């Protein structure tokens, strides 16, 4: 194990960026061993989500050296997987508006170019789904998007897509991580190589063509939808969504009806008007709702900074109501079902993640379409949707409660712009009915038909992944001689699925049908009284999250059941005062 001094020397030998070199030199000079340990003591882990961290010097952070090393490893792995075609098919590279995003994208492009792999380089900021869409259109072997989505301004990230336009899943994550370790010596620091005349044959700039094709695909979503009058407010949350959203609205004949939140319209990597640039966060839509009030408009649409997520708020009886990710997910699902063009509903497939509402499953049971759940993340939803399509299903739609929605035929990943187009189509459809409905009224009809589903989601802060694993181990031990605890509060446990240890009480062989991952904590439980919950350790934040849902005959009864179980979870399982978990 190298000493901190040796790690600092190694960093200074490899890093050619004057600013990040200076950061490490100053820490060494100040004798700040604690910060040096944080920066240099461990390497940022490459996983299915790629890389994401704050932009600072160090092996555990996002910086020029890490980008070069990651791309060199990815490049060699891609060549090993596609030895005959990787060089000519190439990779798609895009970036958002964050600090250093364009530079990181250019350095990534250089790492591919010097190895002879063609780069399809987007030379303007794009929303994240444009990278997987480009992979589909260009038949590329992979893609890289430089973005940290809705993380704080100090962060950036490196997201990898495979040839099927989905985010990577095992075993590719481990293969790429191993390849990175074998290719740590940086070869090229030239961020301008992508502009070099000598590299012309190795670089294409297809953004204009890809953008046109994307907008053409969006038109398919609103084909045949009544052209009712509709005004709405839109905010890109200081991100990159506005330009493509304008074109999408133009294609629907709604550009003149779209009012943009001026204070949040332009890309700004510092996100000055919001605490966190996430439409889900409390207060994030306040400016948009104020703009709507000013203009007397009842609807607000929002995307997160890289425009792969979608949010919606509606004025109901004089009060703004922000629909949850689950509520939007159900509305989209019902709209897909109503407009399914196939003759056999059993061929229609819809998906959601295991932490999302089970209402889509209840709809499938009643209506006869196929429903599947996956692990958390669109890497799983996208790949599973493509698998279902290969089996002859029309896997048209998937969603996740964290305001992510996928129109599979556009791109097998979440997309805030295609979701906005689909939702505007739904609004027009509802307004044109013999008895017009608002989204909230439509949602109410769905609850009346399929049952009321209410959620009580929350999280606790954990000091470390090891601490999280210890707490989950103590929960498992509550079962004593049994494989798992038999009760929670006054309710009996009916089903227990533990995707960490690989146990499922509901299958004949007690093995889960979903993938097992010993490095990630995730338990899903069904209780008496139509309550289901999942508890998991977050892979990107120091949190233990729980997602509780109750189904009942009334909203009040469902809400009461969900809140009771959330309280029991905190008091009986997680016990913050005893376990050291922090209540936010």
8 Å CB contact between 452 and 557 = yes
* pLDDT mean over 414-418: 98
Nearest in space to 308 (alpha carbons), one of 400, 223, 233, 172: 400
Give the DSSP H/E element, type plus range, for residue 41.
none
539 pLDDT tier (thresholds 50, 70, 90): confident
Q: Reply yes or no on domain 48-205 having CATH 3.40.120.10.
A: yes
Token code pair at residue 142: 């992979």
Nearest in space to 313 (alpha carbons), one of 330, 328, 326: 328
Q: For residues 534 and 573, what is the distance between their CA atoms, to the nearest angstrom?
A: 13
Q: Reply yes or no on domain 328-450 having CATH 3.20.20.60.
A: no
Rounded (10°) CA dihedral 121, 154, 356, 46: 60
> Taking all residues of the chain, what is their mean pLDDT, rounded to a whole number?
96
Q: How far is CA 556 from CA 294, 329, 440, in A?
A: 33, 21, 17
Enumerate the CATH 3.40.120.10 domain ranges in the chain, comma separated: 48-205, 212-325, 328-450
pLDDT one-digit tens code per residue, 471-496: 999 999 999 989 899 999 999 999 99
Compute how many other C-beta atoms are within 10 angstroms of the C-beta atom of residue 283.
10
pLDDT of the residue at 541: 75
Token code pair at residue 70: 């990651």
Q: For residues 227 and 214, what is the distance between their CA atoms, to the nearest angstrom?
A: 21
Nearest in space to 563 (alpha carbons), one of 460, 455, 447: 455
pLDDT of the residue at 300: 98
Enumerate the CATH 3.30.310.50 domain ranges in the chain, comma separated: 453-579
Q: For residues 181 and 174, what is the distance between their CA atoms, to the nearest angstrom?
A: 11
pLDDT at 542 over 90: no
Q: For residues 535 and 336, what is the distance between their CA atoms, to the nearest angstrom?
A: 30
Q: For residues 110 and 24, what is the distance between their CA atoms, to the nearest angstrom?
A: 25
* pLDDT mean over 147-175: 96
538 pLDDT tier (thresholds 50, 70, 90): confident
Q: 3-state secondary structure string, 400-427?
A: ECCCEEEECCCCCCCCHHHHHHHHHHHH
Q: For residues 393 and 185, what is the distance between their CA atoms, to the nearest angstrom?
A: 46
**What residues act catalytically?**
149
Give the DSSP H/E element, type plus range, for residue 320.
strand 319-322
Q: What is the fold of 212-325?
A: Alpha-D-Glucose-1,6-Bisphosphate; Chain A, domain 3 (3.40.120)
* pLDDT mean over 564-574: 96
Three-state secondary structure call for residue 62: strand
Report the share of the chain in percent with pLDDT over 70: 100
pLDDT one-digit tens code per residue, 258-311: 999 999 999 999 999 999 999 999 999 999 999 999 999 999 999 999 999 999
CATH architecture of 453-579: 2-Layer Sandwich (3.30)
Q: For residues 452 and 327, what is the distance between their CA atoms, to the nearest angstrom?
A: 11
8 Å CB contact between 129 and 418 = yes
Q: For residues 365 and 332, what is the distance between their CA atoms, to the nearest angstrom?
A: 17
DSSP states along 173-236: HHHHHHHHHT--S-----TTGGG-GGGGGGEE--HHHHHHHHHHHHHHHTTT-------EEEE-
pLDDT at 540 over 90: no
Nearest in space to 536 (alpha carbons), one of 422, 376, 364, 338: 376
Three-state secondary structure call for residue 53: strand
Give the DSSP H/E element, type plus range, for residue 431.
helix 416-431
Three-state secondary structure call for residue 536: strand
Nearest in space to 407 (alpha carbons), one of 336, 353, 344: 336
pLDDT one-digit tens code per residue, 43-62: 999 987 899 999 999 999 99
8 Å CB contact between 406 and 377 = no
Token code pair at residue 397: 């739609």
198 pLDDT tier (thresholds 50, 70, 90): confident
8 Å CB contact between 278 and 304 = yes
- If you search the block for the tokens 């990651």, which residue do you land on? 70
8 Å CB contact between 537 and 468 = yes
């Amino acid at each position: 194990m190298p000493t901190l001094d040796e790690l600092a020397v190694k960093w200074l030998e490899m890093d050619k960026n004057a600013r990040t070199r200076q950061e490490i030199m100053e820490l060494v000079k100040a004798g700040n061993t604690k910060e040096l340990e944080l920066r240099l003591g461990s390497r940022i882990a490459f996983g299915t989500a790629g890389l994401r961290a704050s932009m600072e010097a160090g092996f555990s952070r996002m910086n020029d050296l890490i980008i070069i090393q990651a791309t060199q490893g990815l490049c060699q792995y891609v060549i090993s997987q596609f030895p005959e075609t990787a060089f000519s098919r190439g990779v798609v590279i895009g970036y958002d508006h964050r600090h250093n995003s364009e530079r990181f994208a250019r350095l990534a492009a250089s790492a591919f170019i010097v190895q002879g792999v063609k780069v399809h380089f987007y030379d303007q900021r794009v929303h994240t789904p444009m990278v997987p869409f480009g992979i589909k259109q260009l038949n590329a072997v992979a893609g890289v998007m430089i973005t940290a989505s809705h993380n704080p301004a100090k962060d950036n990230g490196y997201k990898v897509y495979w040839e099927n336009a989905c985010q990577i899943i095992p075993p590719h994550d481990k293969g790429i991580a191993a390849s990175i370790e074998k290719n740590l010596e940086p070869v090229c620091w030239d961020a301008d190589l992508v502009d070099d005349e000598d590299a012309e044959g190795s670089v294409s700039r297809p953004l204009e063509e890809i953008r046109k094709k994307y907008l053409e695909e969006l038109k398919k979503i609103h084909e045949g939808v009544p052209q009712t009058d509709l005004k709405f407010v839109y905010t890109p949350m200081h991100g990159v969504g506005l330009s493509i959203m304008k074109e999408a609205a133009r294609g629907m004949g709604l550009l003149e009806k779209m009012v943009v939140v001026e204070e949040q319209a332009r890309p700004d990597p510092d996100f000055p008007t919001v605490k966190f640039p996430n439409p889900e966060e409390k207060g994030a839509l306040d400016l948009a709702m104020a703009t709507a009030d000013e203009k007397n408009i009842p609807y607000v649409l929002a995307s997160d900074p890289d425009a792969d997520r979608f949010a919606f708020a509606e004025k109901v009886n004089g009060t703004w109501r922000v629909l949850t990710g689950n509520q939007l997910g159900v509305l989209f699902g019902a709209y897909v079902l109503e407009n399914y063009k196939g003759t056999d509903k059993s061929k229609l497939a819809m998906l959601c993640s295991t932490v999302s509402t089970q209402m889509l499953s209840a709809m499938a049971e009643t209506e006869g379409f196929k429903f599947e759940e996956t692990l958390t993340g669109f890497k799983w939803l996208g790949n599973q949707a493509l698998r279902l399509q290969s089996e002859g299903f029309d896997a048209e739609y998937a969603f996740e409660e964290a305001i992510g929605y996928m129109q599979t035929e556009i791109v097998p990943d979440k997309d805030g712009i295609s979701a906005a187009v689909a939702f505007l189509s739904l609004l027009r459809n509802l307004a044109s009915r013999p008895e017009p409905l608002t989204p909230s009224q439509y949602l109410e009809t769905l609850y009346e038909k399929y049952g009321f589903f209410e959620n009580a989601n929350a999280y606790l802060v954990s000091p470390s992944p090891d601490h999280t694993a210890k707490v989950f181990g103590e929960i498992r031990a509550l079962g004593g001689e049994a494989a798992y605890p038999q009760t929670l509060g006054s309710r009996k446990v009916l089903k227990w699925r533990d995707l960490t240890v690989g146990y499922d009480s509901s299958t004949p062989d007690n093995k889960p049908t979903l993938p097992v991952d010993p490095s990630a904590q995730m338990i899903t439980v069904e209780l008496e009284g139509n309550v289901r919950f999942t508890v998991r350790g977050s892979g990107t934040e120091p949190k233990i999250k729980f997602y509780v849902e109750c189904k009942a005959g009334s909203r009040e009864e469902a809400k009461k059941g969900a809140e009771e179980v959330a309280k029991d979870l905190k008091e009986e399982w997680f016990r913050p005062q005893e376990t050291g978990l922090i209540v936010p």
